[in-house]
Every structure is written in structure tokens, then in C-alpha cells.
Amino acid sequence: MGKEKTHINIVVIGHVDSSKSTTTRHLIYKCGGIDKRTIEKFEKEAAEMGKGSFKYAWVLDKLKAKRERGITIDISLWKFETSKYYNQYFLMETT
């Protein structure tokens, strides 16, 4: 039986417009939890709406209202693993 992965919980809270969504999604991307093609898709969509800096924030923001208003309406949860470290990360971000 293989070694069990270490679980690491990350919770991000902060004031409105303090870039919580952008920071957390960028972290997920840099750790390999989101592929480059997905980020490029969001980058294109964000640019078309005049919100180019939102490409990372949109990773979990599926609702059109969230994207148009540039806000996260609820709690976002994401689980990802890295190939470099033997860990599972659980990320929760809220406004």
C-alpha cells in the first residue's frame, strides 16, 4: 500500500476587492491544478469583456453574473495535487 498524501487546508479571507480570487486561482495554476489551455480560454473571454486581469479569478466563477459584476458571490472550493510534492491541497476562498 502506498504512502498516504498529506492534506493541506488553505483558507483565504479578506476585504472586498483585495484580489482573493485572482491570488488563489493563480496559486492553483502555478501548482499545476489548472492547465494552461484553460487559463488561455479565460484570458480570451476576460479580454473580450474588458476585464483582462480577471483571467485567474474566473476559474471557479461559472455564473455569468459573477463575471459581469467582477465579484465572487459565494464560497469557492478547490482540491488539487502537485506532482512535485506528495500533498493534496484543499483551498477555500470567500468574500
Residue 43 has pLDDT above 80, yes or no: yes
88 residue type, one letter: Q
Full set of structural domains in the chain with CATH: 6-93 (3.40.50.300)
pLDDT at 35 over 80: yes
pTM: 0.61
Q: Which of 14-23, 36-45, 86-95 has the lowest mean pLDDT?
A: 86-95
Distance of CA 62 to the CA centre of its chain: 12
How far apart, in whole angstroms, are the C-alpha atoms of residue 8 and residue 79? 10
What confidence tens digit (pLDDT) does each residue in 44-85 have? 888 888 877 777 776 666 545 555 665 555 667 778 887 777
Residue 45: how many CB atoms within 10 A of its CB? 15
What's the confidence (pLDDT) of residue 79? 83
Joined together, the cell numbers standing for residue 21 give: 480570487
pLDDT of residue 31: 82
Residue 62 is predicted with a pLDDT of 58
| Better pLDDT: 95 or 38 | 38
